[in-house]
Amino acid sequence: MLTIGILALQGAFVEHQAMFEKLGVKTFQIRQRKDLDKPMDGIVLPGGESTAMGKLLRDLEMLAPLKKKIHDGLPTMGTCAGMILMATSIHDDPTIHLGEMNITVARNAYGRQLSSFYTKNLFSGQEIPMTFIRAPYIVSVDEGVDILSTVDGRWVAAREKKMLATAFHPELTADTTVHEYFLEMISSSS
């Protein structure tokens, strides 16, 4: 049985746990440095507030070991703020958090909380519901990054090797497609 660690410093981590448990997958919350040492087949970096999460990762001395795990090939799924944490570059912001996925993202690209929206669109060829909350989007990608979803001409989901990033919150719908895609990524890479 697969085990997924879910970063639980801030944001929508409980919702991700519920999605994986619905799929019969074991999960645990990562709240402190020692939790990163637990055996896991993949990790989720949830939506929330990327600046707060980045600060907490640094303050709790989790940034470097987490970056190493991802760099060494731990399958990683980042949603919204998690996508920002993974990006090698943030448009108009010199901050780099984990910097492992070769994408440049624009933070809060869809505007303020009031500009949040719900839509249906294709993800890896399958139509799914998508919830965007103060969402980023991908401005540019380097070689080796595959775009999995585009909404209104903007890239909102991508994969690079064992990393999956979405600008939307798949955990806030009843649809398990994105979580299943991540599990398939893990199974096919082991």
CATH number at residue 81: 3.40.50.880
Nearest CA to 45 among 84, 6, 17, 93? 6
Tens of pLDDT, residue by residue over 37-80, are 999 999 999 998 899 999 999 999 999 999 999 999 999 999 99
| Pairing state between β 26-30 and 3-7 | parallel
Averages of pLDDT over each 10 residues, the chain, 190 residues: 95 94 97 98 94 95 97 97 96 91 85 72 96 91 96 95 97 96 89
Nearest CA to 97 among 69, 137, 57, 133? 57
Q: Choose the catalytic residue: 16, 97, 171, 179.
A: 171
Residues paired with 140 in a beta bridge: 104
Spatial contact of 119 and 134, defined as CB atoms under 8 Å apart: no
Range of the domain at 88: 3-189
Active site residue 16: no
Query: Could you give the number of structural domains in the chain?
Result: 1
Rounded CA-CA distance 91/77 in Å is 21
Q: Please provide residue 73's backbone torsions phi and psi, each rounded to the nearest 5 degrees.
A: 110, 10
Q: Choose the catalytic residue: 80, 97, 160, 179.
A: 80
Which class for 165: exposed (0-12), middle (13-18), buried (19 or more C-beta within 10 A)?
buried
Give the global pTM.
0.95
Rounded CA-CA distance 69/180 in Å is 22
Spatial contact of 84 and 97, defined as CB atoms under 8 Å apart: yes
Cβ-Cβ contacts under 8 Å for 146 (sequence gap 6 or more): 158, 159, 160
Active site residue 80: yes
